[in-house]
């Protein structure tokens, strides 16, 4: 890959843009009636411009951004100067909030194109991408979707120009991923203002000028009911940035704790519907974090490939040693497969956002947790292999791969851990299975997997992988039916303990599902790009191996986990 342009110098990303994305459908949804060729050409020019700036300006500053970290002075938190310069340059190019419509000063880019920019930024410097995505894109998207005309006019133009920075605050110290336990409250006053009380933690870009806060606004409500989103401006110490966490990942990005004590705020959207509204942000963020992983993995693979070409051992470049060659092929398959899966989902997101496509929404719901799981777990694996390819010098900061390794570790954690993604994916799959139990006698409950068919080695390995997934589901459902009786298939209620074995093995099922979908999208690409056949074969073979291994692990479950849980439970009683 070229170091002078992260778009045109990345052949696979260019191939996805030029030959894979169904642009006619995207343009038809995003800009009905627009000239497809002309619109896509403009979007390509934007990515070319961004790719050049990101490669030549942001990437060279990444090590310095990481080394300096967050600035903490006299109780104030701010970004360091190299990070600020990165963002200033993006704003000058008109790319601060690229998805904001042109009417408000943005570039009006679809989600798919915005995510390609996000991938390039993550490849250059994940900390900068986080500030760009969370500080500008996320608050702008929420304001545009749910804000009043007055709020849009007030906040969107300065966000689009990069004149202000915002954040989105959901997480609380005692709640974590259990959003229903949040305790920050919003209370209305007679003048129409609302007052926030509470604390938020782990808020990316929390040092900015405003924050969108998820708070409990209906008295007596509990769980996910009675929540609302509120905009609070920081001006005049309206809320307090208590601290920025000291982290070994994305060091240049401030991750803040915020205190709200009598904070003045205005509702964003209808109070009481905050959970439904913020779900749009969460789903997009999960796709975005999966794509972050692709960016970091691309950087690591690029460095490993370069080093393996130059490093000579035993009379030949180390990439010619079989084990190293296999590592490089593994990395290539992971990165390319993750990218193919992610942009398949990105297109669906555009069709849902702009086209209200119901089938796209169903498919997107299936793929979102898999994109997040595979893109981030794959990033950790690729960075680990890149470190191994480098050997001893890999731990030396000069070679960058140590930073890639560190930064990759946050991606399977924030915006819902890999385990939470697994629970989401498998609960949905089991719900579908209970609705259509006969699917386990055929190709399974996933429409996307069941409808796919390929010839040759790709087809046989893909079919075997799908068969192992269906077999694992059949085994788990059999246990459940034996426990609950045949009434389960007629809608009998399920208690949490009934789902124990399914929840235990959720990540094994998710891993198998993700690999099967990666094999599917790469095989579909190989149909019209024959040069990709070998890559598709590797992905299908891996899917077969992973699904077979995980099916056996599920079958050999000895119940020891549940015995230990029972023992721990007895200690509490």
Q: Which residue has the tokens 């760009």?
A: 132
Question: Which of 228, 257, 272 lies at the terminal end of a domain, its last residue?
Answer: 272
96 and 9 within one domain: yes
**Confidence category of residue 355, pLDDT binned at 50, 70, 90:** confident
**pLDDT of the residue at 552:** 97
283 and 248 within one domain: no
448 and 412 within one domain: no
Catalytic residue ranges: 415
CB-based contact 375:296 (threshold 8 Å): no
Question: Considering the chain, what percentage of its residues have pLDDT values greater than 90?
Answer: 87
Averaged confidence pLDDT in the chain: 94
288 and 253 within one domain: no
Q: What is the mean pLDDT of residues 426-433?
A: 89
138 and 3 within one domain: yes
Residue 549 within a domain: yes
172 and 143 within one domain: no
**Confidence category of residue 489, pLDDT binned at 50, 70, 90:** low
Residue with more model confidence, 167 or 434: 167
Residue 19 within a domain: yes
312 and 326 within one domain: yes
Residue 472 has pLDDT above 60, yes or no: yes
**Confidence category of residue 573, pLDDT binned at 50, 70, 90:** confident
Residue 64 within a domain: yes
Neighbours of 497 (CB within 10 A): 10
**pLDDT of the residue at 353:** 92
Question: Which of 416, 449, 466 lies at the terminal end of a domain, its last residue?
Answer: 416
Residue 53 has pLDDT above 70, yes or no: yes
Q: What is the mean pLDDT of residues 127-147?
A: 96
**pLDDT of the residue at 490:** 63
393 and 311 within one domain: yes
131 and 1 within one domain: yes
Q: Give the Å distances, CA to CA, from 232 to 132, 211, 250.
A: 20, 5, 26
Q: What is the mean pLDDT of residues 294-303?
A: 98
**pLDDT of the residue at 488:** 67
**pLDDT of the residue at 460:** 98
**Cα-Cα end-to-end distance for the chain:** 59
CATH of the domain at 30: 1.10.540.10
pTM for the full model?
0.96
**Confidence category of residue 333, pLDDT binned at 50, 70, 90:** very high
Is 302 exposed, middle or buried, given 0-12, 13-18 or 19+ CB atoms closer than 10 A? buried
Distance CA 371, CA 376 (A): 8
Residue 192 has pLDDT above 90, yes or no: no
Residue 421 within a domain: no
409 and 450 within one domain: no
Question: Which of 272, 299, 323 lies at the terminal end of a domain, its last residue?
Answer: 272
Residue 162 has pLDDT above 70, yes or no: yes
Residue 187 within a domain: yes
Residue 493 has pLDDT above 90, yes or no: no
Residue 1 has pLDDT above 50, yes or no: no
**Confidence category of residue 491, pLDDT binned at 50, 70, 90:** low
Residue 417 has pLDDT above 50, yes or no: yes
38-52, 147-161, 175-189, 193-207: least confidently modelled range: 175-189
**pLDDT of the residue at 435:** 85
Residue 553 has pLDDT above 90, yes or no: yes
Phi-psi region of 75 (alpha: psi -120 to 50; beta: other; left: phi over 0): left
CATH of the domain at 174: 2.40.110.10
For the CA atoms of 49, 50, 56, 61, the dihedral, rounded to the nearest 10 degrees, stands at 160
344 and 259 within one domain: no
Distance CA 213, CA 228 (A): 8
Q: Give the Å distances, CA to CA, from 245 to 133, 183, 248, 408, 495.
A: 19, 21, 10, 18, 39
* Backbone dihedral angles phi then psi of residue 228, each to the nearest 5 degrees: -145, 160
**pLDDT of the residue at 487:** 67
Residue 489 within a domain: yes
Beta strand extents in 274-417 (DSSP E only): 312-313, 316-317
pLDDT tens-digit profile of 495-526?
A: 667 788 889 999 999 999 999 999 999 999 99
Question: Considering the chain, what percentage of its residues have pLDDT values greater than 70?
Answer: 98
Residue with more model confidence, 257 or 481: 257
Count: domains in the chain: 4
Residue-range definition of the domain harbouring residue 5:
1-164
Residue 430 within a domain: no
Residue 410 within a domain: yes
312 and 216 within one domain: no
**pLDDT of the residue at 477:** 87
């Amino acid at each position: 890959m070229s170091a002078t342009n992260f778009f045109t110098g990345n052949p696979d990303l260019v191939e996805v843009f030029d030959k894979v994305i169904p642009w006619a459908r995207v343009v038809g949804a995003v800009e009905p009636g627009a000239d497809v060729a002309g619109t896509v050409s403009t979007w390509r020019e934007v990515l070319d411009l961004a790719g050049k700036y990101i490669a030549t300006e942001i990437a060279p500053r990444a090590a310095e951004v990481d080394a300096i970290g967050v600035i903490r002075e006299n109780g104030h938190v701010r970004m360091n100067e190299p990070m600020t310069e990165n963002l200033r340059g993006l704003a000058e190019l008109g790319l601060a909030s690229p998805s904001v419509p042109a009417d408000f000063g943005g570039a009006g880019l679809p989600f798919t194109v915005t995510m390609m920019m996000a991938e390039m930024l993550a490849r250059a410097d994940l900390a900068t991408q986080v500030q760009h995505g969370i500080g500008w894109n996320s608050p702008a998207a929420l304001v545009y979707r749910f804000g009043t005309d007055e709020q849009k006019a007030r906040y969107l133009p300065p966000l689009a120009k990069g004149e202000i920075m915002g954040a989105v605050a959901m997480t609380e110290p005692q709640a974590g991923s259990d959003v229903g336990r949040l305790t920050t409250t919003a209370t209305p006053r007679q003048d129409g203002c609302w007052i926030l009380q509470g604390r938020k933690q782990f808020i990316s870009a929390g040092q900015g000028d405003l924050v969108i806060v998820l708070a409990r606004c209906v008295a007596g409500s509990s769980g996910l009911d009675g929540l609302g989103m509120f905009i609070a401006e920081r001006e005049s110490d309206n809320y307090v940035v208590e601290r920025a966490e000291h982290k070994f990942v994305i060091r240049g990005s401030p991750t803040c704790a915020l205190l709200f004590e009598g904070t003045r705020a205005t509702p964003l959207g209808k109070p009481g519907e905050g959970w439904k509204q913020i779900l749009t942000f969460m789903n997009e963020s999960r796709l975005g974090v999966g794509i972050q992983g692709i960016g970091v993995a691309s950087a690591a693979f690029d460095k490993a490939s370069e080093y393996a070409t130059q490093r000579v051992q035993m009379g030949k470049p180390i990439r010619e040693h079989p084990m190293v060659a296999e590592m490089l092929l593994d990395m290539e398959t992971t990165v390319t497969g993750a990218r193919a899966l992610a942009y398949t989902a990105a297109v669906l997101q555009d069709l849902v956002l702009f086209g209200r496509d119901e089938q796209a929404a169903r498919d997107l719901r299936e793929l979102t947790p898999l994109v997040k799981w595979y893109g981030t777990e794959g990033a950790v694996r690729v960075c680990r292999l890149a470190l191994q390819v480098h050997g001893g010098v890999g731990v030396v900061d000069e070679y960058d791969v140590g930073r890639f390794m560190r930064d990759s570790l946050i991606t399977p954690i924030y915006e819902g851990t890999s385990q939470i993604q697994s629970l989401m994916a498998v609960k949905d799959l089991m719900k579908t299975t209970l609705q259509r139990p006969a699917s386990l006698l055929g190709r399974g409950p996933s429409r996307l997997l069941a409808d796919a068919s390929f010839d040759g080695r790709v087809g046989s390995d893909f079919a075997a992988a799908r068969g192992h997934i269906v077999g694992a589901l059949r085994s788990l459902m059999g246990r459940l039916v034996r426990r609950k009786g045949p009434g389960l298939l007629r809608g009998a209620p399920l208690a949490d303990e009934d789902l124990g074995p399914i929840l235990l093995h959720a990540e094994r099922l998710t891993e198998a599902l993700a690999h099967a979908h990666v094999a599917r999208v790469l095989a579909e690409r190989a149909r019209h790009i024959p040069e990709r056949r070998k890559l598709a074969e590797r992905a299908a073979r891996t899917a077969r191996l992973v699904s077979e291994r995980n099916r056996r692990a599920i079958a050999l479950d000895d119940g020891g986990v549940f015995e230990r849980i029972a023992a721990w439970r007895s200690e509490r009683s």
